[in-house]
Amino acid sequence: MVEFGRYYINFIRDIFRHIGEFFKGLFQTFAGFFVNGIKELFEKFMLASLQFTLLDWLMFVMVSIVNLIFIAVIVIKIVQFLKKYIKFVKSELEKDELVSEIAFLNQKTIELIDEKNKILALKVSNLGINPDQPEEDKPEETEDVSTGRFVKLSMVDEEYQFQIKRIEMTEEDMISLKDIVTRFINFSASRLKLYYNRKIISAFFAGMAASHTMILEGISGTGKTSLPYAMGKFFQHDAYIIPVQPSWRDRAEMLGYLNEFTKKFNETDFLKSIYETTYREDINIVVLDEMNLARVEYYFAELLSIMEMPDADKWLVDIVPETKPGDPKHLIKGKILLPQHVWFVGTANKDDSTFIITDKVYDRATPIEINTKSEFIDAPPTDGITMNHQYLDSLFRKAQEEFPLSPLAKENLEKLDHFITKNFKVTFGNRIMKQIKAFVPVYVASGGTENEALDYMVARKIFRKFEGLNLPFLQDEINDLSKLITKLFGKDQFEECQEFLTRIKKTF
């Protein structure tokens, strides 16, 4: 044991001796280079320069300048790399801080919910009801069969007298998509003093063909809420405008919930609006005003998933576990069948008071940007239109037949998709391609061009995802993407995509 102890001590000493010799040799190497080495190189130069001719000195100056430029370029590249790295690290740290802040806010939300439940229990106890009392000991509750659990929905039943409202169209109302766009622009200008350009209105109708959810986004005061409002007036059935509250955390805030104490369903205006659409055949628009005041994917995710089902008979919204006597007529097995002729239009501002709309929502919706007010239009007095959803669907189908996506456009989109997937790890995907194929024909039938429609969709459905990438590291790829778009679609085409890429370059 003593011998091993001596060996181990010597072993440790040898290790530290070798480490010391390594650093000593390293220091001597650097010292030798920066003191003796540089001095020796300078002395050799001075000795050799005694034999230099005029031509030799000129060569010396030229070589020195080239070497200095080379060193300067290396130093600049190193500094640029360090700046990008520091910026990247800083952004990652900010993300970590945001995650911590979200966790803190979630904890506070749970505490507030607990406090709300305690207050509710206190109110119930003041009414003489003990929520913890066994069911057999509670007094019998008498159900108001005349109204049932759903007061507002039962009122809708009575208003429509349990009959679907039929829409009778006249010959004057049976017009083309292009004429509908023109008629709406003139109607809103002459009757409502609201002015819209053809591109936005064409995109709105094309968006209706591509998805049952649309997002109108942009700066405040540009008429985002006014557009679906005007559409409701134009189709002679007012849009349902539902203000989104910052407190919306789940579907119950939007659809309502069954109060276990009163045995009544706490109905919302949103639930009433979608239930009323089951009694109608015309165009129905439900507006979620300022939809990103709360997290959209929290309260609206279920409806987004439902509307993606290919079978319209499966568009069932769960309301209660089962149907009871006195419940509304169109509440079947506790569910409401969402009609095909209802469109959800969300308005969204981009400022510090709102949440970011995630890709899950954007991918399933048609985004339309409204950042400027349109100029005054001196339109002749124009009336609205009476139209059932079957006729509008027939116009969409006719556009698909007459203006399908051209083979050249499909080929160019595939090339663009391949380049973006390879260099940016972002892909079009089947869902977005399906929306593009539905959007483009209707946009063309409304008076636009194919390239204009493709530009509109690619800029808003694909390029928007670039905002989440580390763009300073992708300068070359962005420049190459701009050149590829020009090569595929033409120099003066895809203005919105090129403008987006130019705006990105200015941030570098």
- HEC string of 88-104 equals HHHHHHHHHHHHHHHHH
151-369 topology per CATH: Rossmann fold (3.40.50)
- In this predicted structure, the answer to whether residue 320 has a pLDDT above a threshold of 90 is yes
Residue 409, pLDDT score: 94
β 284-289/240-243 pair status: parallel
Kindly state the greatest CA–CA separation across the chain: 118
Q: Which two tokens stand for residue 76?
A: 């600049």
Q: What is the dihedral of CA 115, 120, 126, 132, to 10 degrees?
A: -100
Helix (H, G, I), strand (E, B) or coil at 218: strand
Q: What is the pLDDT of residues 122-145, one digit of tens each?
A: 555 544 445 445 544 444 444 444
Residue 139, pLDDT score: 43
Please state, in angstroms and rounded to a whole number, the distance separating the CA atoms of residues 187 and 165. 25
Asked if residues 392 and 382 have their Cβ atoms less than 8 Å apart, the reply is no
β 256-258/265-267 pair status: antiparallel
Q: At what angle do helices 177-191 and 389-402 cross, to 10 degrees?
A: 130
Please state, in angstroms and rounded to a whole number, the distance separating the CA atoms of residues 391 and 398. 10
- HEC string of 314-364 equals HCEEECCCCCCCCCCCCCECCEEECCCCEEEEEEEECCCCCCCCCHHHHHH
What's the gap between Cα 356 and its chain centre? 7
- Which band of pLDDT confidence, cut at 50, 70 and 90, is reported for residue 121? low
Please state, in angstroms and rounded to a whole number, the distance separating the CA atoms of residues 211 and 365. 6
- In this predicted structure, the answer to whether residue 258 has a pLDDT above a threshold of 80 is yes
Residue 182, pLDDT score: 96
**Residue the block writes with tokens 């007459």:** 402
Q: Which two tokens stand for residue 74?
A: 């290396």
Residue 244: count of CB within 10 angstroms of its CB: 23
- In this predicted structure, the answer to whether residue 4 has a pLDDT above a threshold of 60 is yes
Looking at residues 21-44, what average pLDDT do you find? 74
Residue 172: count of CB within 10 angstroms of its CB: 10
Helix or strand (DSSP H, E) at 479: helix 475-489
Please state, in angstroms and rounded to a whole number, the distance separating the CA atoms of residues 224 and 218. 8
Residue 218, pLDDT score: 85
Q: Which two tokens stand for residue 149?
A: 């659990």
Higher pLDDT, 18 or 454: 454
- In degrees, rounded to 5, the angle at the alpha carbon of residue 385 between the alpha carbons of residues 237 and 223 is 65
Residue 138, pLDDT score: 45
- In degrees, rounded to 5, the angle at the alpha carbon of residue 487 between the alpha carbons of residues 485 and 493 is 55
- In this predicted structure, the answer to whether residue 329 has a pLDDT above a threshold of 80 is yes
**Residue the block writes with tokens 């968006």:** 207
Burial of 344 (0-12, 13-18, 19+ CB in 10 A): buried
- Amino acid letter at 386? T
- Which band of pLDDT confidence, cut at 50, 70 and 90, is reported for residue 52? confident
Please state the pTM of the whole predicted model: 0.71
- In this predicted structure, the answer to whether residue 24 has a pLDDT above a threshold of 90 is no
Q: Which two tokens stand for residue 199?
A: 């591109």
What's the gap between Cα 444 and its chain centre? 25
Asked if residues 472 and 91 have their Cβ atoms less than 8 Å apart, the reply is no
Alpha-helical (H) ranges within 211-308 are: 226-234, 251-255, 269-276, 296-299, 301-306
From first CA to last CA, the distance across the chain in angstroms is 67
Please state, in angstroms and rounded to a whole number, the distance separating the CA atoms of residues 378 and 195. 10
Instruction: Kindly report the average pLDDT of the chain as a whole number.
Output: 86
